[in-house]
Amino acid sequence: MVTPSFPAMRMRRGRSAPWIRDMLAEHRLHPSDLIWPLFICEGQGQEEPISTLPGVSRWSVDRLAEKAREARELGIPCVALFPNTPANLRSEDAREALNPDNLICRAIKAIKDAVPEVGILTDVALDPYTAHGHDGLTDANGRVLNDETTAVLVQQALVQAVSGADIVAPSDMMDGRVGAIRQGLEKAGCIDTAIMAYAAKYASAFYGPFRDAVGSRGLLKGDKRGYQMDPANGAEALREVALDLAEGADMVMVKPGLPYLDVLARVKDRFGVPTFAYQVSGEYAMIEAAAAAGAGERDALVLETLLAFKRAGATGVLTYHAPLAARLIAEQ
């Protein structure tokens, strides 16, 4: 048998023109894949640029309707809300989290009144409300208390759900909190409120700009490694996801994003449930810094990283680049 002098299969044939690349593409981005995180501040008519998140601002409640309308026009189905609670309202017991007239609750109502068709995801955790910056209540030694915190998280989730949140997203990493929140929502009649569990949330170095955005940088006493996951562990994430699903989570999340694509892929392959990734503040800031330094082209970097999430199995992505990405997708 004579071996041919040419390749038996030329893979480049499938890359030879835009039409065939489009036809053979295994994954596609769509604006409906995106969730847009928005930061909230007190005041009227306020926009507060965040220096460590270039292009991202905090918005006063009265300005949020226009952001929600922008999301609707771009085809972004959901926004995620995070408050910058004033220092005088932060306390050891995080009681402002349970105030039905706090920043989050007012923001939910303002968006639902103006643009009811846009979904709202809310963060369930105490770090935007505690004086010490931890995600839960602490004892005299600074140790975060699991069960006592969970009881408060249930009340926080209920306050948000009653205000109109479509998805409550516990990000605190307390054991058993998903089951407790699910039970609390059911008992209160909030049977249609979904839970997106931050199931695999790592104690990451990529959260710095977010802490600036919610005003908690410098408050934290110690670190969060006692409850957030060790970056060395992958199999542990599967156990965390399994527990949250068993307790009633409708969707799960892996956070951060790009450094944990392997975890994202394993979760989706193992469970096959709606699985989201959070392209966190440090990831966003690195793309912006690279673009500003001329080390890469912003639009291409944004679309390539988001496509990486889809390739790894993400149902959707929380990203501060959501409006830019939606516009770029529409132009393609």
Q: Known binding site for Mg(2+): residues?
A: 240
Catalytic-labelled residue, pool 67, 112, 201, 310: 201
DSSP result, 286-328: HHHHHHHTTSS-HHHHHHHHHHHHHHHT-SEEEETTHHHHHHH
Amino acid residing at 239:
R
The rounded distance, in Å, linking the Cα atoms of 37 and 320 is 6
DSSP 250: S
CA angle 225, 209, 152 (to 5 degrees): 50
Rounded to the nearest 5 percent, the helix, strand and coil shares of the chain are 45, 20, 35
Which of helix, strand or coil describes residue 73?
Answer: helix
DSSP 130: B
Which of helix, strand or coil describes residue 119?
Answer: strand
Which of helix, strand or coil describes residue 266?
Answer: helix
Catalytic-labelled residue, pool 67, 112, 224, 255: 255
H or E stretch at 9 = none
CB proximity list for 289: less than 8 A, separation 6 or greater: none
User: Quick check: is 201 catalytic?
Assistant: yes
Amino acid residing at 124:
V
User: Quick check: is 109 catalytic?
Assistant: no
The rounded distance, in Å, linking the Cα atoms of 265 and 311 is 9
DSSP result, 24-44: H-S----GGGEEEEEEEESSS
The rounded distance, in Å, linking the Cα atoms of 255 and 196 is 12
Which of helix, strand or coil describes residue 174?
Answer: coil
**Residues annotated as binding site?**
240
Residue 54: both structure tokens together: 């270039």
Supply the residues annotated as catalytic. 201, 255
